[in-house]
Amino acid sequence: MVAKPILTADEAAALVNEGDVVMVGGFLGVGSPGAIIDALVRKGTKGLTLVCNDTALHNPKTGAITMVAHLVLAKQFRKMIVSHIGTNGETQRQMNAGEAEVELVPQGTLAERIRAAGAGLGGILTPTGVGTEVEKGKSVVEVDGRAYLLEKALRGDVALLRAKTADRAGNLIYDKTGRNFNPLMATACRTVIVEVDEIVETGTLDPETVVTPSIFVTHLVLAAK
C-alpha cells in the first residue's frame, strides 16, 4: 500500500477553500480534530458550509468553548447542517440574526444522508419528520401504505476527522465513542484529512480492528502530544 502524505495542521487547513462543504467528525467535540480546527481558525477561510452532529460548546458566561465552536465564533460558516445547536449560544445568535443559515436535521437522518452519499445513493426514505416542519419542501413517498420523506444524500468537499491510530497507508482505528460520525464522513467527501494520535508502520495493525480502510483517506495529520 502507498503511504499517505503526513501534513502539519496548517498544511491541512490550507486544503480547505472558501465555499467548501466541510464535514467535521465529533459529538460535542469528542472525536473532533482539534489541531486542524485551530489551524483553520488561523487561516480564516470564510463562506464554509459545516456538516457536523452539532456546533460543540460555547458559553460566553463561563468562557467555555470547544472544537467547531471556535469556527462558529470566527463566523467562518455561511451555513451549518447539524442536528443540535443547544449548547452553542453563538450559533443560535447568528441564526436568529440572519448572519448564518442553520439547517436542523434529525440525528439519525443526518447520519443516513451521509451514509447514502458514501454508498453512492441518491438519498434515503425515512418516516422521521412526516407531518412536521421537517417535511416542508420535501417529497413524500408512500411505501406499503406508509408515508416516508425523501432525504437527499449529503456529500462534502473536505472531511476533517479524528482517529486514535493510523498506519502509514491510512487504515484507521478509533477510540471508543470517538468513532461517532467519523467513519461515515470518510466515505462521503472528496478529500479526507484525519488527525491521529499515532502513526504506525503499514502491516502492524490487526485488520479485524480497522474501521476505516485506507482507500477512503487522503491525508494524515499527527496530533501534538
Q: Per-residue pLDDT for 225 more than 80? A: no
> What are the tens digits of pLDDT across the range 11-48?
999 999 999 999 999 999 999 999 999 999 999 999 99
3-state secondary structure of 91: helix
pLDDT single digits (tens) 105-139:
999 999 999 999 999 999 999 999 999 999 999 99
Ramachandran category for residue 79: left, alpha or beta (phi over 0 → left; psi -120 to 50 → alpha): beta
Q: Which of 3, 7, 19 is nearest to 158 (CA)?
A: 19
Is the pLDDT at 151 greater than 80? The verdict is: yes
The whole-number pLDDT of residue 62 equals 85
Q: What is the pLDDT of residue 176?
A: 96
Residue 1 predicted with pLDDT over 80: no
> What DSSP character marks residue 112?
H
Beta strand residue intervals within 2-139, DSSP E = 6-7, 21-24, 48-51, 58-59, 64-65, 77-82, 101-104, 123-126
119-123, long-range: CB within 8 Å, 24+ apart, which pairs? Answer: 119/187, 121/153, 122/152, 122/153, 123/150, 123/151, 123/152, 123/153
The rounded distance, in Å, linking the Cα atoms of 147 and 141 is 6
- Contact present, 31 and 178 (Cβ < 8 Å): yes
Question: Per residue in 159-199, pLDDT tens?
Answer: 999 999 999 999 999 999 999 999 999 999 999 999 999 99
- Closest Cα partner for 185 from 211, 166, 207, 149? 211
Task: Please give the domain boundaries of the chain with CATH numbers for all domains.
Answer: 6-122+154-222 (3.40.1080.10)
CB 87 within 8 A of CB 94: no
Asked whether the beta carbons of 18 and 46 are under 8 A apart, the reply is yes
Q: What is the pLDDT of residues 50-92, one digit of tens each?
A: 999 999 999 888 888 999 999 999 999 999 999 999 999 999 9
pTM of this structure: 0.95
Residue with cell 486544503: 15
